[in-house]
Amino acid sequence: MLDPRHAILFEPVQIGPKTLPNRFYQVPHASGFGVTQPRAQAAFRAIKAEGGWGGVCVEYAPVSADTDEEPSVAANIRDGRDAAALALTVDAVHAHGALVGIELYHGGDSCNNVKSRHTRIVPSQSRSGVQWGSMAREMTLDDINRVQRDFVDAARRARDIGFDIVYVYGAHGYLMTQFLSTYSNQRTDAYGGSLANRARFQLETLELVRAAIGQDCAVAIRTSVDGRDELPGVHIDDMLGFIAMIEPVVDLVDVTVGSWPEDSGTSRYYPEGHQLPWTSRVREATTKPIVGVGRYSNPDQMAKVIRSGNFDIIGAARPAIADPFLPRKIAEGRLGDIRECTGSNVCIHREEVFNQIGCIQNATAGEEFRRGWHPELVPPTPDPRRSVLVVGAGPSGMECALVLGRRGFDAVHLVDANDSIGGRLRWVRRLPTLGDWGRVIDWRATQLAQLTNVEVITGRWLTTAEILEYGADIVIVATGSAWADDGSQPDRTEPISGVAGALTPERVMAGDRPAGNRVAVYDCDGYYVGSGIAELLAGEGYEVHLVTTHPVVSPTSDGSLEGRMLRQHLHDVGIAMHVGITVTGRAPGRIVGSTEFGDPFALDVDDLVLVTHQVPRADIYRELTADSDALQAAGISAVHLIGDALAPRWISESVFDGHRMAREIDSPHPAFPLPHLRDQPA
Amino acid sequence: MLDPRHAILFEPVQIGPKTLPNRFYQVPHASGFGVTQPRAQAAFRAIKAEGGWGGVCVEYAPVSADTDEEPSVAANIRDGRDAAALALTVDAVHAHGALVGIELYHGGDSCNNVKSRHTRIVPSQSRSGVQWGSMAREMTLDDINRVQRDFVDAARRARDIGFDIVYVYGAHGYLMTQFLSTYSNQRTDAYGGSLANRARFQLETLELVRAAIGQDCAVAIRTSVDGRDELPGVHIDDMLGFIAMIEPVVDLVDVTVGSWPEDSGTSRYYPEGHQLPWTSRVREATTKPIVGVGRYSNPDQMAKVIRSGNFDIIGAARPAIADPFLPRKIAEGRLGDIRECTGSNVCIHREEVFNQIGCIQNATAGEEFRRGWHPELVPPTPDPRRSVLVVGAGPSGMECALVLGRRGFDAVHLVDANDSIGGRLRWVRRLPTLGDWGRVIDWRATQLAQLTNVEVITGRWLTTAEILEYGADIVIVATGSAWADDGSQPDRTEPISGVAGALTPERVMAGDRPAGNRVAVYDCDGYYVGSGIAELLAGEGYEVHLVTTHPVVSPTSDGSLEGRMLRQHLHDVGIAMHVGITVTGRAPGRIVGSTEFGDPFALDVDDLVLVTHQVPRADIYRELTADSDALQAAGISAVHLIGDALAPRWISESVFDGHRMAREIDSPHPAFPLPHLRDQPA
C-alpha cells in the first residue's frame, strides 16, 4: 500500500500538451540497441513503462549525416527506416500508458564520423578538438540552417510515429553546448559573442521545432546546468540566463551537471543527488516542469526533492535499469523489494564498450527481448517436486537460489561456509568507496527471506560426502574462486619466484597485514580489487606502491567512466603507481621484474599483495561428477557449476550466470546457454 | 601486354576438387561488413574478383555461440540468415570467375563473448587468459564434440551456398592454436600432451569437415608456422610435424607467422616478405598447394617466390585493398599503374576500430556498395568543357586533380608552390621508417603524367589575384595545413607561453635544428609525426624527450597494430618518454607544465619542437569566396575547399576528400557529401 508520504510522487504533471501520469521518468540513456536492434529496444523500454515509469525515453538520436556515431549505437532518426524501427518502441511504451520521448542530437565536435567519413562541424574551427587525427570545420550559415532543418525533419518524423516528447539535446558538451560555450564558440557573427548570440542556434532550433510540430508533442531541452570546469562548458550564471531565454518555447527542462563522467558519477566518488547544488538553482530561471537525476532509489529522498521544489519530476537512468518496477513497488508500499542501483556503472560499460546493456543488480536488463526475461516474473517450474542444494552463497549462488525459489521448487537450500551470505562481496563492500556494491547482497537477503521454500544456511561447510548425503535432487556448486597465492599470473609461463607467504586480497580483508611499512600491490587484474586494497592500506598508513602490468592503472575503470577520477584519487592519497611492469620475483626487501620495454625493474618493499588472477574453487564439483555411481546412489539427478567456480568474472556476470542457470535448469544442456534471439533492423 | 617473366603467376592451380584460375589469392581478412552489411561485403569482395584475383575470401566466420565477437564484426555462419547474407558474396565473386572461400573460426580464449554472455572456453582452465575481468572454463569432451559439430554444420552451410574453399582456421592464436600450444594446452586426456594429442582436436575437425562436404569444396587450413615468442604459440619444428599430420586431409595450406601484429606488420617495422624465413620451410612438410602473404605488390618478387617453390599461390590482403586490379594490371603489363600498398595499416585501423575499411592509397576501398565507387572507373563529366584549377598538390589535391582528369574535364591544372608534388607527404616520407608512405605520391605522379588534359605545375605560388586571373571555371583550394607554432593546443584555453621561435615539424624537415643538445618534442597529436621527429633527432645524436599529453605514446598507432613495437623502438634508440603531460610554458633551458594529476612538471631542455595541432591554410579560399563580384567577373562558377585546408586529418581521409569532391563536383552542394546507402542484413 502506498505510503501517504510518497503520494506526491504519483501526481500527474502537465508537460505542455501532454500529461505525465506520475513523477517517475526514465531520462534518455543509451542501451546498445539503437535502431539496429529495434525489438530489443522496444522490449527494454516497455518493461519500464510496465513497471510504472510515467515517462520513458530512448537514447540520443542523431539527426544529421555529419553526426555519425558508428560504430557506437544510437537511435538514429534520419529516414523512414529509422522511424519504422523506433515506432516499435513508441507502441510498446504506449501500451502501458506511459509517455515516450526522443532526444534529438548533433554531436558537432564530439562525434567522430569515422564510418561515414563526413567532415565534423564545429562553431569555430580554431577551437576544434582532434578526434582520430581529424579536426572539424567551422560551420557556415548554410550549415546552421541545414542542421536546424535536420532537427525539424527529425522532430516531424518523431511526431509522426507517435513520440510524445521531443528533446533538443543541449547537455554533455555536444553541439548545442559548443555554441553556448565561450571557449568553443569564437564566432563573430550573429551566433557568437553575447549570451543571446551564443544561445541563438539552440533557440532558433527550438522555435523551428515548435513551429513544425506545434502542440502535437511536448518540446524538451536537456542541458548541463554547470559545465564544472570541463571544455566546452558553461557556467551556471550563463545557463540560468539561457534557460530564461528559451523558457517560452519549451515544455520541459531536463537538467544535468558537468561532463558525462560526473553526471553519471559512480557511487565510488559521487553520492546520490550530488548534482543538486547546481540543478536546484534552475527553478530561479523557469516555471516549466523540471526533471533531474540523482541516482535516487529511495522514495523518501525523491519526495523530499519534489517537496523542496527543486524538481517536478524524478529522472532516472541507472535506478530504472536496476529496477524497472521501482515506481510500482513504491505504489504498493513494497519498499524493501526495490532493487537499488549500486552506482557501479556496469550498465554504461556494457552498453558503451559491449553494445549490450546489463546490470550488476538486474540480470534481466537487456535480456527482455533476446532471452524473453522479465525482471519480476519467472516461469514456474513444470516439476516442483524437487529439492535443490545450492552450495555457496556468493553473487551467483544467491541469485540462483532466489530464482529457483521463485520458480516454485519444493525446497531450495542455500548453504554457505561463512557466517553470512554474499561470497566475495562480503569483503568487496568493505573496500574503500565500494560500500554501495553491498546492495547486491542486501536486496537478495531481503528477497530470500520472503520465500518459504528457500532456506538459507550459513556457517556450514559441506564436504563432498555431506553433499551426497544431503538429500537434494539437484546440486548447484557455486563455491566461487580465490585469488592465486602461488605467483602464477596471466600470460606468463613461469610463476613469480619467492612469493611463499605473500598476501592476497582475501587475506588482507580477513585482517592480515603486510610485514613492514612499504608494500607493493601487484595488480594484473586491472579493475577495483588492486586499487581497493592499495587504498585500504594507504589509509592505514602504509607506503603503498601499486604495480600493474597494464599500461594505465585500472584500465577497466575507464569503461565505467571513473578511470581518471580513480587514478587522481589514488594519487591524492599518496599511492605510487608503476605501470607496464611484470613482476618476476620477490627477494627479501624487494620485488624484481621487467618494464614494458624489457628493462630490469626493482622496487624496495617489505611485503607484497598478489592481485594476479582468480582460481576457481571447483573441487567439490569435480569430485561429485567423477563418481556417477555415488550420485545415482544419492538420488542426485544433476550437478551444475556456476559463477566464479566455473570461471571467475565480473560480479554482474556471475549474477547473470546464476540467474540463467535457474531459468534454464531443465534445458537439455543447462551448462550451455539456450540460444537467444538475434535482433535485426525492422 | 603480359611480361613473359610474370606468366607463371597466371597458371591455374589445382586445390583439391577446385581449380584456382591463377595464382592470385585474396586471403581471409576483416572488412567491418561481416553479415550485417552483406551488400557492402559482396561488392567489396567482388571488385577483387573483377580485378583478377583468382581466389577471394571473406573474413573469419565464427561457428559457435561461445565464440561471439560482437561488437567486432565477423562473418558469422551460425544459421540460415547468416548463410543468406553470405550467399550474396558467393554469387558476386562467382560472377567474375573466381573461387570464393570462408574461414571457419572459433576464438576459444581470445574471443570475449561480452555481448552474448557465454562463458569462454579454453583447452585448460589453468592457462585461461583474462578478458574483461573474465576467465574461461576448461572444455569438456562434450564441448570438444559440440564445437566440432559446429564446424561441420558451418561447413555444410558454406557448401550449400556455394563456397569453394572452406577453412578450418588455425592461426593467430585462436582455439586451434590453443590446443596445439604446450603453453595453453595442459590437458592430460587424449587432446593434450604429445604433438599427436595436441593436434587431435584440429585433425578430427578437419576429418569431420571433409567427411561432411566430401569433394564439394576444397578444405584449407590457415596456420601460424611459428608463434614467434607469442603465447599461445607453437615453434616451427612442431608445426612442420603438425602440417605433415594433417596433410592427407587438406587441399590448401595457408601460412602465416607470429601474432597478428607481426603477420600484418607495417612497413615501418617489417619489410615485404618478412615471413619467409619461417613460411618457406612449410614445403618440407607438404606437397599440397601453399599460399602465403608478404605484402607483395611487385610481380617480379611474386614470380620469384613462386619459382623458388616457397609458395604456389601469392596471398594478399593489404595489396588487394590498395589495388583490387593488381592481377589484371600485371596481365596487361601495366606495372606502373599498380597502386602499391604503403603498409600503413590504415585499413586495419579503420576496419577494427571504425567497422568500415578504408585505405590510404585507394579512396574507393569500402565504398563500392554504399557510394557505388569503382577503383578504376569514374563517370565522365556530363559537361567536359570546363577547366579546373586545383591549388595545392598534397594528398587531396593530387587525388582530386587525378579523378577530375579521368572524368574528362577539358583542362585540369594542378599548381603547387613547392618544387614537387606531395604536400606534407614530401617530408613525411623522409621521417625514419615512413619511406613507403611516399608511394601515395609516386603512384599519383605516374598517373597524372598519363593524362593529357591534366597539367602539373610546380614551383608556382598563386596569389588570390592570380587565381582570379588564371582563367579557370572552377577553383579547388587544397592548400593544406601547417603545424601551429603559437603554442596553441587542443583542449586548453591559454597557449603555451614563451614558445616564440620554437620549432615545428615542417621547420625541422626543412633543415632547422634545435639549439643545444637536449630537445623536447611535445606531442598532442599522438600518431606518427611526433614520434617520427623524435626518432629523426635521436638518430642525429640529440638527447630527445618525447613529451605527450596522451596516457601512452602514440595511442593512434595501437589501431594500426604497431603501438607496442613503436614504443619499444623509441625506447631502444634512447628516447625518453613522458606521458600524460600538459606543457604550459617554456623558459630558457626548460619547459614547464603539469602531470595528469595536476602536479608541476619541469624538464631541462635546450629547445622544443611543437607537435600540438594543425592549422588549416584557407586564406585563399576565404578571400576568393568573400568577393562574389570578383569571382563572377573572373568567370569562376565555383570555389571548393578540400583536404587539410578544410580540416586537417589523416592522409587517407584527405585522399578520400579529394576523391569525393572530384566525383561529386556537380552535386547541388559539393561541400557536403551526397547521401550514401546504409546497408542492412539480407
Alpha helix segments (H runs only) across A490-610: 505-509, 528-539, 556-559, 563-572
**Phi, then psi, of B401 in degrees rounded to 5:** -60, -40
Please answer yes or no on whether B647 and A676 come within 8 Å at the CB atom. no
The CA distance from A506 to A426, in Å, is 10
Farthest-apart Cα atoms in chain A, separation: 87
Q: State the smallest CA–CA distance between residue B133 and chain A in angstroms.
A: 5
Alpha carbons B471 and B469: distance in angstroms, whole number:
6
Q: How many CB atoms lie within 10 A of CB B438?
A: 16
Please report how the helices B80-94 and B141-160 are oriented relative to each other, as an axis angle in degrees rounded to 10.
40
B647 with A556: Cβ contact below 8 A: no
B556 to A133: CB separation less than 8 angstroms, yes or no: yes
State whether B647 and A183 contact (CB < 8 Å).
no
pLDDT at A231: 87
Three-class SS of residue B426? helix
Looking at CA atoms only, how far is residue A235 from chain B in angstroms? 15
Query: Does residue A202 have a pLDDT over 80?
Result: yes
What is the DSSP track for A263-289? HT--TTT--TTTTHHHHGGGGGT--S-
ipTM of predicted assembly, 2 dp: 0.96
Inter-chain contact A135–B358, Cβ cutoff 8 Å? no
- DSSP state, residue A333: T
Kindly list the residues from chain A whose CB atom is less than 8 angstroms away from the CB atom of residue B31: none
Residue of A nearest to B114 (CA): A354
- Determine how β-strand A165-170 pairs with β-strand B121-122: unpaired
Q: Nearest residue on chain A to B565, judged by CA atoms?
A: A597
- The three-class DSSP label of residue A481 is strand
Strand partners, B121: B137
Residues A379/A465, Cβ–Cβ less than 8 Å = no
Between chains, do B613 and A65 touch, taking CB under 8 Å as contact?
Answer: no
Which residues from chain B sit within 8 angstroms of residue A576, using beta carbons?
A: none
The distance between the two most distant Cα atoms of chain B, rounded to a whole number of Å, is 87
Residue B100 burial (10 A CB sphere; 0-12, 13-18, 19+): buried
Q: Residues with Cβ < 8 Å from A286, sequence gap 6 or more?
A: A243, A244, A247, A253
Mutation pick from B39, B120, B130 vs chain A, by most beta carbons of A within 10 Å, is B130
Please judge whether B354 and A115 are an interchain contact, meaning their C-beta atoms are less than 8 angstroms apart: yes
Facing A355 at nearest CB: one of B71, B527, B656? B71
Do the Cβ atoms of B130 and A350 come within 8 Å? no
Cell of B3: 611480361
List chain B residues with CB under 8 Å of A231: 491, 493
For residue A649, give the nearest of B135, B356, B646 by CB distance. Answer: B135
SS (H, E, C) A25-59: EECCCCCCCCCCCHHHHHHHHHHHHHCCCCEEEEE
Cis peptide, bond prior to residue A71, ω within 30 of zero: yes
| Exposure string over B13-26, b if 16+ CB within 10 A, otherwise e | bebbebebbbbbbb
Residues of chain B contacting residue A552, judged by C-beta atoms under 8 Å apart: 551-552
- The predicted-structure confidence for A42-68, as pLDDT tens digits, reads as follows 999 999 999 999 999 999 999 999 999
> Would you list the DSSP string of A537-554?
HHHTT-EEEEEESSSSS-
Q: Is the pLDDT of residue A501 over 90?
A: no
| Chain A interface test: which of B76, B135, B259, B347 (most A C-beta within 10 Å) | B135
* Closest CB to B681 among A136, A556, A680: A680
Q: What is the mean pLDDT of residues A517-532?
A: 98
User: Nearest-CA residue of chain B relative to A570?
Assistant: B597
Nearest Cα to Cα of residue B131 among B190, B88, B173: B173
Residues of B in contact with A126 (CB under 8 A): 488
Nearest to B115 among A115, A356, A568 (CB): A356
Find out whether the peptide bond into B71 is cis, omega within 30 degrees of 0.
Answer: yes
Cell numbers describing residue A58: 530512448
Residues of A in contact with B526 (CB under 8 A): 133
Q: Please tell me the distance in Å from A354's CA to the nearest CA on chain B.
A: 6
- The set of residues, in sequence order, having a beta carbon less than 8 Å from that of B627 and lying 6+ positions away, is none
Backbone angles phi, psi at B510, to 5 degrees: -85, -5
Q: Nearest-CA residue of chain B relative to A528?
A: B133
Cα–Cα distances (Å) from B82 to A675, B34, B60, B86, in that order, read 15, 9, 13, 6
| Residues of A labelled catalytic | 174
- Do the Cβ atoms of B135 and A653 come within 8 Å? no
Buried b (16+ CB within 10 A) or exposed e, B106-140: bbbbbbbbbbbbbbbbbbbbebbbbbbbbbbbbbe
pLDDT category of residue A681 using cuts at 50, 70 and 90 = confident
Tell me the C-alpha distance between B278 and B228, whole Å. 10
- Residues paired with residue B201 on neighbouring β-strands, in sequence order: none
Chain A nearest CA to B452, separation (Å): 31
pLDDT in tens, A267-299: 999 999 999 999 999 999 999 999 999 999 999
- B506 by DSSP, 3-state: which? helix
* A673 contacts B118? CB cut-off 8 A: yes
CA distances to A342, A362, A430, B563 from A346, in Å? 9, 11, 19, 28
The pLDDT tens digits of the residues spanning A592-641 come to 999 999 999 999 999 999 999 999 999 999 999 999 999 999 999 999 99
pTM over 0.95: yes
Q: Which residue of B has its CA nearest to A146?
A: B672
- What does the block give as the cell for A283? 527553478
End-to-end CA distance of chain A: 41
Chain A contact set for B486 (CB, 8 A)? none
Grid cell in block for residue A640: 551444475
pLDDT exceeding 70 applies to what percent of chain A? 100
Which of A115, A134, A598 has its CB closest to that of B653?
A: A134
- Check A117 against B653: CB less than 8 A apart: yes
Phi, psi dihedral angles at B519 (to 5 degrees): -130, 140
Q: What is the grid cell recorded at B320?
A: 588487394
Instruction: Provide, for chain A, the percentages of residues in helix, strand and coil under a 3-state DSSP scheme, each rounded to the nearest 5.
Output: 35, 20, 45
At A491, the pLDDT band (50, 70, 90 cuts) reads: confident
B479 and B654 Cβ atoms separated by less than 8 Å? no
Average pLDDT, chain B: 97
* Chain A residues with CB-CB distance to B614 below 8 A: 135
Low-confidence stretches of chain B (pLDDT beneath 50): none
**Residue range B612-646, pLDDT digits in tens:** 999 999 999 999 999 999 999 999 999 999 999 99
State the average pLDDT for chain A. 97
Phi and psi dihedrals of A131, rounded to 5? -120, 120
Q: Which of B134, B183, B526 sits opposite A650 (nearest CB)?
A: B134
B170: part of which helix (H) or strand (E)?
strand B165-170
Judge: A524–B130 Cβ closer than 8 Å, yes or no. Answer: yes
Write the pLDDT tens digit of every residue in B243-262: 999 999 999 999 999 889 99
Alpha carbons A412 and A416: distance in angstroms, whole number: 13
Residue B379 CB partners (closer than 8 Å, separation 6+): B407, B663
Whole-number pLDDT of residue A230: 87
d(CA A639, nearest CA chain B) in Å:
15
Between strands B600-604 and B590-594, the pairing is: antiparallel
**Cβ neighbours, 10 Å, residue A516:** 12
pLDDT of A682 > 80? The answer is no
The set of cell numbers assigned to A483 is 585469488
Burial annotation A302-339 (CB, 10 A radius, 16+ → b, else e): bbebbeeebbbbbbbbbbbbbbbbbbbbbbeeeeebbb
DSSP 8-state symbol, A407: T
Nearest CA in chain B to A557: B132
Q: Which of B178, B654, B184, B562 is nearest to B349 (CA)?
A: B562
**3-class DSSP state for residue A14?**
strand
The answer to whether B42 and B34 have CB atoms below 8 angstroms apart is: no
For chain B, what is the total number of helices (H) and then of strands (E)? 23, 26
Strands (E), A407-529: 411-415, 454-457, 474-477, 481-483, 518-523
Q: Active-site residue B174, yes or no?
A: yes
> Catalytic pick from B25, B105, B167, B174?
B174
- How far is it, in rounded angstroms, from Cα A350 to Cα B116? 11
